[in-house]
Amino acid sequence: MFRMKFAPIVIAAIMLSASAFAGSNPTFTTIDNPLDPTFNQLLGINTAGVISGYYGSGAPGHPNQGYTIAAPTPNSFPKPFRAPFRRRLPVLRRTGPQLASGRRPTGGDSNFGFIRQANGFTYLSVNDPLGTGVPEINQVLGINSSNIAVGFYNDANGNPHGYAYTVKTGVFSPVTIGKGLPDAATGINVNNLICGFFINAAGRTFGFLKALTGGQAITFGVPNAPVTQFLGVNDKGFAVGFYIDGSGLTHGVTYNPSNGEWNTVDDPNGVGGTVLNGINDKGDAVGFYTDAAGNTHGMLVNGLQ
């Protein structure tokens, strides 16, 4: 997916929106799997504080390996905190107490979507038959408690197209913002509110929030930023993701659709960039940052709401 391919550029200055967290004081904790302190990304966190992520950049000899962990108590560990390894899994995003979704590298640069069933041992392949890209790219990026998953596939021209997949019926439904515009669905909450991003005709990328059925999409782009992506949404409709500013600098972003308020989130150690991937209903978010040495670290942020 696009966000995996972005190489964060060195951040020279921290940008904040006018609201500047609206008085909140977020705390940052580094969480890395000790098997690989050079590359970790955290993808999702549920209300119980269980986090999913992966280590390994995916380069030759450095494969992706998924894992789940329990969140540390804020300020109870010295930074950086190295989280205990729990389980080796494909790359996955945990969005509920038992359900998880993700992508499975298959060789030849292809990716197939999957859903890890509630028993923890059964995996359901999810690949939209409209995906005609070569290599085949199909990723499932979120699932809710109603067993509705969202993701995207690439067409023959390499453009992404978002979809929703209902496990009970096995039916794929397109998630579109504008006719013919490339887009990707990246998360879905308990109310079937989908988050994601799309690229307009001028080539600018915007985040969106859209109900699974009916209603108008809410779209947002950080002012003067060529790229804004929403990557996670909680059950309150609060979205997180990242943007790239006009100088090519990468920052985490939060967005509240009820009032249009947005905020920049930069890990103090993230001199090479910060991305938010997921958020729970308590306002705890996860993602990653890149340090001065070019290493990618998993990141937990408490107190965003």
Mean pLDDT over residues 181-185, rounded? Answer: 96
CATH number, domain with residue 75:
2.120.10.30
Average pLDDT across the chain, whole number = 82
For residue 96, give Cα distances in angstroms to 58, 72, 292: 26, 18, 34
The 10s digit of each residue's pLDDT in 143-160 is 998 999 999 999 999 899
The 10s digit of each residue's pLDDT in 246-271 is 888 899 999 999 999 999 999 999 99
Q: Which of 53, 17, 12 is nearest to 228 (CA)?
A: 17
Whether residue 43 has pLDDT greater than 90: yes
Give the model's pLDDT for residue 83. Answer: 54
Mean pLDDT over residues 13-26, rounded? Answer: 45
Give the model's pLDDT for residue 64. Answer: 87
Domain that holds residue 79: 2-302
Mean pLDDT over residues 193-215, rounded? Answer: 95
Helix (H) or strand (E) holding 148, with range, is: strand 148-154
**In the structure, what pLDDT confidence band is assigned to residue 22 with cuts at 50, 70 and 90?**
very low
- Give percent helix, percent strand, percent coil of the chain, each to the nearest 5: 5, 50, 50
pTM of the model: 0.84
Whether residue 222 has pLDDT greater than 60: yes
Mean pLDDT over residues 113-138, rounded? Answer: 78
Q: Which of 297, 248, 250 is nearest to 81 (CA)?
A: 297
In sequence order, which residues have a C-beta less than 8 Å from that of residue 19 and are 6 or more positions away?
261, 262, 263
Coil, strand, or helix at residue 43?
A: strand
CA atoms within 13 A on the CB side of 260: 7
Give the model's pLDDT for residue 5. Answer: 33
Cβ-contact 209, 218 below 8 angstroms = yes
Give the model's pLDDT for residue 74. Answer: 52
| Residue of higher predicted confidence among 116 and 30 | 30
φ, ψ for residue 139 (rounded to 5)?
-130, 135
Whether residue 227 has pLDDT greater than 70: yes
- Give the separation between CA 241 and CA 228, rounded to whole angstroms: 8
Whether residue 80 has pLDDT greater than 50: yes
- Give the separation between CA 207 and CA 221, rounded to whole angstroms: 6
**In the structure, what pLDDT confidence band is assigned to residue 302 with cuts at 50, 70 and 90?**
very high
Q: How many residues does the chain have?
A: 305
- Give the separation between CA 42 and CA 277, rounded to whole angstroms: 7
Task: At 45, list the tokens.
Answer: 């966190």
Give the model's pLDDT for residue 252. Answer: 98
Whether residue 168 has pLDDT greater than 70: yes
Whether residue 66 has pLDDT greater than 90: no
Give the model's pLDDT for residue 96. Answer: 46
Whether residue 24 has pLDDT greater than 70: no
Count: domains in the chain: 1
Task: At 118, list the tokens.
Answer: 């509630």
